[in-house]
Chains A and B, each alone.
Chain A
Amino acid sequence: MSEITAEQVAHLANLARIDLSSAEIDRLTVELGQIVDSVARVAEVATPDVPATSHPMPLTNVFRDDVVVPSLTVDQALSGAPDRAGDKFRVPAILDEE
């Protein structure tokens, strides 16, 4: 069985800025535990010569040339912002974070 605890789920929820009720935390603790267990079973059959897969397609080195293309206008860039001051995004005081 996995060792996912309610505290870990609450911590993760906080990191992801998701407001979970205690009932939701309890449910997700069980569900996440099942997911972790399932992944662990895959790990059992994957031998060391099977590299971890991050991308399903065998593509590498997809690059673009270093050429400037037009950007958005300032108004377009700011159009989705909840608040602005002049040409800048305005955000609430953030001292809690720093």
Chain B
Amino acid sequence: MAKAELMDYDKALELFEPVLGFEVHVELNTKTKMFCGCANEFGSGANTNTCPTCLGLPGGLPQVNRQAIESSIRLGLALGCEIAETSRFARKNYFYPDTAKNFQTSQYDEPIAFNGQLTIELESGRQVTVDIERAHMEDDAGKLTHMGGAAGRIQGADYSLVDYNRGGVPLVEIVTQMIEGGEADSPEIGKTYVAAIREIVKALGVSNARMEEGNVRCDANVSLRPRGSNILGTRTETKNVNSLRSVERAVRYEIQRQAALLHAGGTITQETRHWHEDTGTTSAGRPKSDADDYRYFPEPDLVPVAPSRAWVEELRATLPEPPAARRKRLQAAWGFVNLEFQDVVNSDLLDVLEATIAAGAPAQSARKWWTGEIARLANAAGVSAESLVTPAQVAALIELITDGTLTDRLARQVLEGVIAGEGTPSEVVASRGLAVVSDDGPLIAAIDEALAGQPDVLAKIRDGKVQAAGAVIGAVMKAMRGQADAARVRELVLERAGSAAAEPAPSESAE
């Protein structure tokens, strides 16, 4: 594959205006498939969730999953769409082994939801309203594995293997109108838009929303219009861009690639392109079929879906607070600066943080623990932070710090115990004997010993050089194995040294 020429991004934007469009496929998390009772689950043994209907065998008869309709309507409503009074399924005919039916059951001219809007906010604070053309229902295709040839790529494969477990899983495809005026922000608009969709479907609970498992997949359409022209350029559709970062990179790449090609006098072919995560490039796929070539026609085996207005309103009443509004509300309530709040959002910790704070923890402490020590341990273990500890446990841990039972350092050890399954934070404190030594007796003994061992430091403290106390505090903390409150140790060191700083009223030196 020859490496494409790329134009410098700034120069590309000087010469051309990018026009975008996105198709986001959301896999619904229903228990069963769209049109049959086979389980909708990720990771089962190959071809264990199939039946005559999803395999397209003679005699198979599709039946619509009510839950999938409800999820689709709720998603449509959350995107500000109108819900169709009558909606129909249609066959989209094509021959490709990812479906055994030789057609995809989709919707054509009567989608369940249409005319929506989604406003997203970029990092600069710029707001962009994306118009949603439609959100329609369809079934997913099976999964192909290309064997032989160049490492799993289609190009050069000797043969392919098919697992139809995913075939027939319910999808909602959300199609935007053309997005103009994105300019240099275009790649970020792509990323932010897909992130917003992901956040919405997660808040609705209609999808597992894991991009790495293909629950949310994005096709990015990009075309360039020469400055001063009002004629749209030919677009390419980059398929299956499956991480937020990839959406951003793929849009940027296509802008640079198309600009170089157009500037050199070439033409853009209307085609689907494949995104390669490893090289950060796209390569040509098949020429895009015209809709005519799919020979859409109404699915004869399924009757229309005509949701009553009462049903739609009932579903509207179940919508959660929109994620963007919720973020604004929580940030204000918690008093986080943007950077702190973004950190929480980007780490996917909004829910656990909210629960931890609801369980009584101060917002800043909760943030510090989740984005700090817990995230670090989760990263090291390669798991999610919320799989390690519960919000209630974290709140209890913070409570033990606040009431003086634990120092931060001890709390980290307690956290490890909790993660290791040794019980609640209080139980770990008891079983590991980790509480701060609150009795001054042992502290004073350790301090006197440390002072006696460092007479020069003692002299300095008595001379009023209070910062010299650090060396003694360190020695005492070490002797106490960290189970002392450093602030209290400091107080006691100054007191025992009898320095001026320890006593409010100046007095004669003890000597």
Residue numbers of A with Cβ under 8 A of B are 12, 15-17, 54-55, 57, 59-69, 71-74, 77-78, 80, 85-95, 97-98
In whole Å, how far is B371's beta carbon from the nearest beta carbon of chain A? Answer: 37
| Stretch in B57-65, B128-136, B457-465 touching the partner | B57-65
Q: How far is A90 from B47 in the complex, measured between Cα atoms in Å?
A: 12
Not counting A63-B64, A66-B31, a sample of 17 additional A-B residue pairs whose C-beta atoms are within 8 angstroms of each other reads A61-B305, A62-B64, A62-B302, A63-B66, A66-B66, A67-B31, A68-B37, A69-B38, A86-B161, A87-B45, A88-B161, A88-B162, A91-B161, A94-B144, A94-B157, A95-B157, A98-B286
Q: Which residue of A lies closest to B311 (CB)?
A: A61
B378 contacts the other chain (Cβ, under 8 Å)? no
A73: B residues at CB distance < 8 A: 48
In whole Å, how far is B349's beta carbon from the nearest beta carbon of chain A? Answer: 31
User: B97–A94 contact, CB under 8 A?
Assistant: yes
Asked if A90 meets B159 with Cβ closer than 8 Å, knowing A77-B55, A80-B57, the reply is yes
Asked if A87 meets B46 with Cβ closer than 8 Å, knowing A55-B298, A71-B38, the reply is yes
Q: Digit string of B149-167 for contact with A (CB within 8 Å is 1, else 0)?
A: 1000011111111111000
Q: How far is A73 from B47 in the complex, measured between Cα atoms in Å?
A: 8
In whole Å, how far is B92's beta carbon from the nearest beta carbon of chain A? Answer: 12
B421 contacts the other chain (Cβ, under 8 Å)? no
Q: Select the residue from A12, A73, A89, A92 with max chain B CB neighbours within 10 A.
A: A89
- Per a CB cutoff under 8 Å, which of B30, B45, B65, B155 touches A63? B65
In the A-B complex, the 6 residue pairs with the closest CB atoms: A69-B37, A54-B298, A66-B67, A63-B66, A88-B161, A60-B306
Q: How far is A94 from B156 in the complex, measured between Cα atoms in Å?
A: 9
B182 contacts the other chain (Cβ, under 8 Å)? no
Q: Digit string of B18-60 for contact with A (CB within 8 Å is 1, else 0)?
A: 0000000000001110001111000001111111100101000
Asked if A89 meets B164 with Cβ closer than 8 Å, knowing A66-B66, A97-B286, the reply is yes
**Would you mind naming 11 contact pairs between A and B with Cβ atoms under 8 Å apart?**
A15-B93, A66-B65, A68-B37, A69-B51, A71-B38, A72-B51, A72-B52, A72-B55, A88-B47, A88-B162, A94-B160
B423 contacts the other chain (Cβ, under 8 Å)? no
A71: B residues at CB distance < 8 A: 38-39, 48-51
User: A74–B48 contact, CB under 8 A?
Assistant: yes
A66: B residues at CB distance < 8 A: 30-32, 65-68
B95 contacts the other chain (Cβ, under 8 Å)? yes
User: A78–B161 contact, CB under 8 A?
Assistant: no
Q: Which residue of B lies closest to A75 (CB)?
A: B47
In whole Å, how far is A9's beta carbon from the nearest beta carbon of chain B? Answer: 13
Q: Which residue of A lies closest to B95 (CB)?
A: A17
In whole Å, how far is A60's beta carbon from the nearest beta carbon of chain B? Answer: 4
B145: A residues at CB distance < 8 A: 88
Residue numbers of B with Cβ under 8 A of A are 30-32, 36-39, 45-52, 55, 57, 63-69, 86, 88, 93, 95-97, 100, 144-145, 149, 154-164, 285-286, 293, 295, 298, 300, 302-307
Q: How far is A62 from B96 in the complex, measured between Cα atoms in Å?
A: 30
In whole Å, how far is B329's beta carbon from the nearest beta carbon of chain A? Answer: 33
B55: A residues at CB distance < 8 A: 72, 77
Q: Which residue of B lies closest to A85 (CB)?
A: B161
A95: B residues at CB distance < 8 A: 154-157
User: B303–A64 contact, CB under 8 A?
Assistant: no
Asked if A60 meets B86 with Cβ closer than 8 Å, knowing A66-B32, A68-B31, the reply is yes
Asked if A67 meets B97 with Cβ closer than 8 Å, knowing A74-B45, A94-B160, the reply is no
Q: How far is A68 from B51 in the complex, measured between Cα atoms in Å?
A: 12
Q: How far is A71 from B54 in the complex, measured between Cα atoms in Å?
A: 10
User: B96–A89 contact, CB under 8 A?
Assistant: no
Q: Which residue of B lies closest to A69 (CB)?
A: B37
B86: A residues at CB distance < 8 A: 60
Asked if A94 meets B96 with Cβ closer than 8 Å, knowing A55-B304, A60-B86, the reply is yes
Q: How far is A12 from B50 in the complex, measured between Cα atoms in Å?
A: 31
B162: A residues at CB distance < 8 A: 88-91
A72: B residues at CB distance < 8 A: 50-52, 55
A55: B residues at CB distance < 8 A: 298, 300, 303-304
B66: A residues at CB distance < 8 A: 63-66
In whole Å, how far is B279's beta carbon from the nearest beta carbon of chain A? Answer: 18
User: A89–B47 contact, CB under 8 A?
Assistant: yes
A15: B residues at CB distance < 8 A: 93, 293, 295
Q: How far is A74 from B50 in the complex, measured between Cα atoms in Å?
A: 8
A60: B residues at CB distance < 8 A: 86, 303-306
B88: A residues at CB distance < 8 A: 54
B30: A residues at CB distance < 8 A: 66
Q: Select the residue from B50, B149, B285, B298 with max chain A CB neighbours within 10 A.
A: B50
Q: How far is A47 from B226 in the complex, measured between Cα atoms in Å?
A: 44
User: B46–A91 contact, CB under 8 A?
Assistant: no
User: A97–B69 contact, CB under 8 A?
Assistant: no
Q: How far is A65 from B69 in the complex, measured between Cα atoms in Å?
A: 11
Q: How far is A54 from B145 in the complex, measured between Cα atoms in Å?
A: 37
Q: Which residue of A lies closest to B39 (CB)?
A: A68
Q: How far is A93 from B346 in the complex, measured between Cα atoms in Å?
A: 41
Asked if A93 meets B64 with Cβ closer than 8 Å, knowing A54-B88, A68-B32, A74-B47, the reply is no
